[in-house]
Structure 1
Amino acid sequence: MIKYAPVLKWKAGERDSIKKLDDSQVNQISPIIELVDSISEHELLKEIHETGLKSAFIDTIYSDISLEFYEKLNSINGITDLKLIPVFYIDDLFDDFSVIDTYDEISIRLEIPEPIDSLSYNKLFKEILKKTHTKIDIILDLIFIEDVQAATLKSVALKETLSQIKKYCMNINKLIISSTSFPNNLSDLEAGEEKKYKRYEFKIFNKIYELPEYKDFINKLIYSDYGVNKFTDTEMDFSKLQYGILPKIKYTTDSFYYVQKGKKDRIKNVYTISVFDMCDKIINSNFFYGKKFSYGDKKIHEKASERKGPGGNKDWVTISTTHHITVILKQLSN
């Protein structure tokens, strides 16, 4: 049963993170794959098959790929047991709702709260959530939640949207609630500094899960978040590239994200706070999950103990993502 739909950019590090999960974990996730690079339908199928995934949502909004990609992918994937679900946006559908008839299952990704200049969500629900042979999944995306005030306001907006679609509950296949509290920019983190960022995503999801007025959605609800690596590329400070980028370690806990940044003596060209030092700090903290918890935790423990090979950006995406997914699945199992 699918419990979790992590949003992934589908770079090498993210793909490798899925390969490091065990089969039972892979069977509980259906990632929202945001394609950011051009790729052929056959190559994408090959890459997804290699991870062992049984299902995934495919989102092309951040690439130059046209919506025809979905149709081609759908046609060549017909002979496999892999379920690939295209992600549509409201602008894709409003002029022609019949496009959904091409597929067995589609998803519609909607920003929460409803943007003031958006086409009407209520009208969309009336038109699209009718009896149809196509299964309709709704992704309600709260995007970034900066603080408790934003969490409160977005929770209210989420409940308003849920109230609109409650009457169509029988016609909704899956209901995915997505958000992130992980900052989209870590430029405020000074060299050698560490910070904790409170996680609001799970609290918002649990609120909805526990409210009796949404009990009809319980068996359709799927948790989703952006993990800790969606904005990795945007963290680069290009003015400092001549000195190299300072390493960062991102570590998810049940209630907060922990982020550390390395430090370097520019004169001597040596790290005064290295990757190994940061790993050592994590394994000696009261929030370390233990070296057997996940592939990511095992590698963090190894680097702290053996102090060999700090690893590149791709390696750390894999380490932090496998740990993050394992934390989320553990929380959802409770």
Structure 2
Amino acid sequence: MPRDVIPVIKLADNSDRIENVITRVQKGIAVRIYLDEILDDSFQKLFTDLTSRLNLQEIDLIIDVQFVSAGEINIKSALIKEALNRINNMSEFRTIIVASNSFPENLSTYDKYRLVTIPRNESKFFNKAKQHFEEKGIKIVYSDYGVNHWTYFEYVPGMQVTFNIRYTYYDNFVIYRGDSIKRGGFNFAKVQEACNELVNSSYFLGKDFSWADQEIYDKAHGIVNKPGNPTTWRALGTNHHIVFILNYLSNQF
């Protein structure tokens, strides 16, 4: 196992996998627990059995709330408060990380060929949840799933990938949905049109904001005439998202 990798284990992992991870770690372990698990009657025994084998000061505890819609922010924040009472020795963990997600599972229901906004709830939820931890004198770390849904995406052979832009903005994700590969969605002319839509909108944060923004600007203006592929565009969306969140968090303290 590489020295800089911190493995993640879950309550549902079998004992052999957990033992294998424990014996090989060099920089501690991350333990991911889901909000639904914490609220289950069997949680405390399972959690105690797992953490009793570990040094809490070498554990990053990830509390994963998974998907949070706009209407669930207050509800799931209240559930976090209840969950805190079920985790003993919270302050002894190396870090407490709270993860959430509000990016949709797929974009098929959204209009094509124009910019569409989707509420971005992760920051709002985090700020609500943070208050409950602060009442107990505990600092937490922000985490999200970027411009992806929290579930694993399973590629099916023959599936037609569709061109799309995923762009993080203050209270929204801004998306542009184009055509599938089969219908020329990744032809440069169509990609350039999409980039122009974003660059000329009020959502664009400027070509100097991140590497991704520079790439989008260059494609819009024909400085770069390569459309990229699905991997390219997921990388661009992720790069912009990380820079945006780092800037956002740095202005919170």
Same fold (TM over 0.5): yes
Matches within 5 A, 1:208-247: 208-211=129-132, 213-218=134-139, 221-229=140-148, 241=160, 245-247=161-163
The residue number in structure 1 matching 2:67 is 144
Task: Name which of 149, 152, 173 aligns with 1:257.
Answer: 173
Label 1:246 to 1:96 Cα distance change in 2 as closer, same or farther (>3 A): closer
- SS of alignment partner, residue 208 of structure 1: helix
CA RMSD of aligned residues (A): 3.6
Alignment partners' CA distance in 1, 2:117 and 2:157: 21
Letter in 1 for 2:174: Y
Letter in 2 for 1:328: I
Letter in 1 for 2:144: D
Task: Name which of 201, 206, 225 aligns with 2:127.
Answer: 206
Label 1:281 to 1:237 Cα distance change in 2 as closer, same or farther (>3 A): farther
Runs of 4+ in structure 1 displaced over 6 angstroms?
Answer: 93-100, 266-271
Task: Write out per-residue CA displacement over residues 54-93 of structure 1, whole angstroms, 9 at most, x where no aligned residue.
Answer: xxxxxxxxxxxxxxxxxxx2xxx4xxxx432221111336
Letter in 1 for 2:145: Y
Alignment partners' CA distance in 2, 1:115 and 1:216: 20
Task: Name which of 104, 107, 115 aligns with 2:30.
Answer: 107
- Is contact 1:112-1:142 (8 Å) kept? yes
Deviation at 1:95, TM superposition (A): 9.1
The residue number in structure 1 matching 2:241 is 324
Alignment partners' CA distance in 2, 1:312 and 1:189: 21
Task: Name which of 273, 297, 301 aligns with 2:217.
Answer: 301
Matches within 5 A, 1:176-187: 176-187=97-108
Matches within 5 A, 1:92-103: 92=13, 102=23, 103=25
The residue number in structure 2 matching 1:173 is 94
Deviation at 1:246, TM superposition (A): 3.7
Matches within 5 A, 1:189-204: 189-204=110-125
- Is contact 2:74-2:128 (8 Å) kept? no
Letter in 1 for 2:126: F
The residue number in structure 1 matching 2:230 is 313
Structure 1: gaps (5+ residues): 1-72
Normalising by the residue count of structure 1, what TM-score does the alignment of the two structures yield?
0.63
Deviation at 1:247, TM superposition (A): 1.4
Paired residues in the alignment total 245
The residue number in structure 2 matching 1:121 is 43
Normalising by the residue count of structure 2, what TM-score does the alignment of the two structures yield?
0.81
Bigger relative CO (Cα 8 Å, ≥ 6 apart): 1
